[in-house]
Amino acid sequence: MRVECLHEDDMMFVLNKPSGLLVHRGWDNAETALVDRARELTRGGTAHPIQRLDRGASGPVLFAKSAETARELSNWARAGYCRKDYLALVRGECPERIDIDHPIHRRLDGPRVEARTLARCVAVAQTEPRHVSVICARPLTGRLHQIRRHMKHANHPLIGDGRYGRGDLNRAFRERYGLARLALHACSWRVVRPDSRTFVGGLVPLPEDLSEPLCRMGFDLDDNRLPRDLQGVLDQLVPRLD
């Protein structure tokens, strides 16, 4: 499974995780994890993931090159200076603006804690067996499965979500449109470097296993396999990382 490096500097690097690959071994004894690919890029074979990304999701994952940098970036991330925005395909016609402030479990067996997600509807398609929407979501807190759980709470579960979605809809979209994965992709990332306070980041095109089904549903994507005017939608999400 090919893994693209989106960025590398003296402190960190960012890998573009494909759907189906674990970030690191924990709940599953998979033969290969993203951290294995990350270690190949570092001197001495060490790599420290700073962010999580669900196995079924795709997109950028930030790694530190040393334990000291990992501690610094982890504190930086908790302070809000590392951000990812997501595209998701959800059931139904979503409102233009979504603000979900609903406590969820930090861990599956832990207590509920504060959690908030902001989102905007990007486009709606009249598909069979029902309407679906592409949304752009920004989690303001980092809880387990936060976007998936919040969208289920809002009665707009993600398509392709085997845990929080609808099995009948997942099967229908797999058979009709070839969507055989979780419809969640981190489309934008941005990090403020702790040493210089300068930004690094960028947009990440949808992988073909998600962009092609979306095109079959009638969604309009640009040459980078992203919804048109995505940057305009991202600019309307607040708070911004300044």
pLDDT tens digit string along 8-20? Answer: 999 999 999 999 9
Report which of residues 235 and 31 the model is more confident about.
235
Nearest 5 degrees, angle CA 185-CA 171-CA 212?
45
3 state DSSP class of 78: helix
Report which of residues 239 and 5 the model is more confident about.
5
- Architecture in CATH of 4-236: 2-Layer Sandwich (3.30)
d(CA 224, CA 149): 29
Is 220 in the active site? Answer: no
Catalytic residue among 9, 10, 28, 54: 54
pLDDT at 25: 75
d(CA 29, CA 56): 16
Q: Which two tokens stand for residue 128?
A: 């069979």
d(CA 132, CA 91): 5
3 state DSSP class of 15: strand
The partner residues of 190 in beta bridges, in order of sequence, read 83, 201
Q: Please compute the mean of the pLDDT values over residues 81-110 and round it to a whole number.
A: 91
Q: Indicate if the pLDDT at residue 57 is higher than 90.
A: yes
How high is the mean pLDDT of the chain? 91
pLDDT at 52: 87
pLDDT tens digit string along 158-182? Answer: 999 999 999 999 999 999 999 999 9
Band the pLDDT of 26: cuts 50, 70, 90: low
Among 158, 164, 150, CA closest to 101 = 150
Q: Please compute the mean of the pLDDT values over residues 8-35 and round it to a whole number.
A: 86
Peptide linkage before 239 cis (omega within 30 of 0):
yes
pLDDT tens digit string along 186-242? Answer: 999 999 988 888 989 999 999 999 999 999 999 999 999 999 989 889 988 876 554
Domain boundaries along the sequence of the chain: 4-236
